[in-house]
Amino acid sequence: MNNHADFQALYAQHHHEMEDFWSRRRSRLAHKVEFRLFGRLVRMTSNDFEVLSSADFSRPLYSAAPETNEVPFVIQIIVHASPRASRNIPDDLVEKIHYTGNEHWLNIGFGEWGNCLVQMAEGRATAVLTPEFARQPELVSRCMLDTIFTNLFTRNGFAMLHATALVRNESILMLMAPHGGGKSTTALHLLLKGNAVLTDSMVFVTMRKNTLQLTGFPVGRIKLRQDMLPLFPQVRPFLSSEQVRGETKYTLDLKLFAPDQVCTQALSPARLVLCLMKRHDQAESFFEEARPESVWESVMHNSLHFDTLPIWQSNLELIAEVVQRAEWYHLFVGTDPQQLVRAVNAIW
């Protein structure tokens, strides 16, 4: 027995009798789904068909963009029972996630329910999840996939700004502020006046054929604090609650509330207005021009980088394309919504 045909016959005769000691056969990636995010192909494979439906929850949250021919991102999800896992996934799983990483990789730990290693420079991620976790595809999307994609994109040709972005004709207004600084409520006031929303959380920046391209995540959602809800009684039927950093927030589904004002496409704006926001207790809202040092200080507090200089530099070079094209303002947000809208309209 010394040829390939003999070996194949021998394997076919005996392989099913062999112990699957390392669970390799049970982990065979028999199922696949492909889709595009920001124009880049994503290939997800798994030994479990149902867990792949988690992609259906993530995919609509990313702006559509022209297709690219870059190497696909590859995500492998192995569903495998653990003797240590309890049957019930905690409601606050997102608060229990443990992150460890460096410039090349990120490990996402879900305790007894699974683990995910993201190899960022290679554009790959491998996860092992318990069946209890895998049976909740929306949770897999929110707790794992969106973190994977954020890290893969910001390590492969994109920079990110924590900002709210609104669209009017070919012009974009970007709002940056500390947590609780009023970005979401300002965005909703402006949406109620007919403006469209690109994103209320993350603006991704890249260059395509020497043209600035802005995309958003999550598309079609605005998060509100509970104390802001009385300002917008008309949105209550479209809200769902969610725990975010130990705080209950309410997510407004704009695709149900105002579908025509959801911007789902990547944009190359003709005009950019960047507002650094700060609340105050007076009714009046007003603005003043910002200086470059204030803009860059805000950028450094509202971006996502990795802790090595070369990666910081490549991301900041992309963000510089935004800063150089933008008009800069400080926007002091008062308590009167109508005055706030008038102040924004004066600069945008």
Contact in structure between 34 and 64 (CB atoms under 8 Å): no
Tabulate helix, strand, coil % of the chain (nearest 5). Answer: 35, 35, 30
**Amino acid at position 262, single letter:** V
pLDDT tens per residue across all 348 residues of the chain: 567 787 888 888 887 778 877 788 888 999 999 999 999 999 999 999 999 999 999 999 999 999 999 999 999 999 999 877 667 888 888 889 999 998 889 999 999 999 999 999 999 999 999 999 999 999 999 999 999 999 999 999 999 999 999 999 999 999 999 888 899 999 999 999 999 999 999 999 999 989 999 999 999 999 999 999 999 999 999 999 877 666 788 999 999 999 999 999 999 999 999 999 999 989 999 999 999 999 999 999 999 877 788 888 999 999 999 999 999 999 999 999 999 999 999 999
- Let me know: does 295 contact 323? Beta carbons within 8 Å: yes
Q: Is-contact 65 157, C-beta < 8 A? A: no
Main-chain phi, psi angles of 48, to 5 degrees: -130, 125
Place of tokens 């929110």: 142
SS3 62: coil
254 neighbors 221 (Cβ within 8 angstroms): yes
pLDDT value, residue 311: 85
Q: What local confidence, expressed as pLDDT, does residue 317 receive?
A: 95
Tell me the pTM. 0.93
Please give the structure tokens belonging to residue 209.
């054929």
The DSSP bridge pattern shows strands 98-101 and 73-79 to be unpaired
List the one residue out of 96, 158, 199, 79 whose CA is nearest residue 318.
158
CA angle 282, 241, 153 (to 5 degrees): 90
Domains of the chain: 4-155 (no CATH), 159-347 (3.40.50)
- The residue type at 126: T
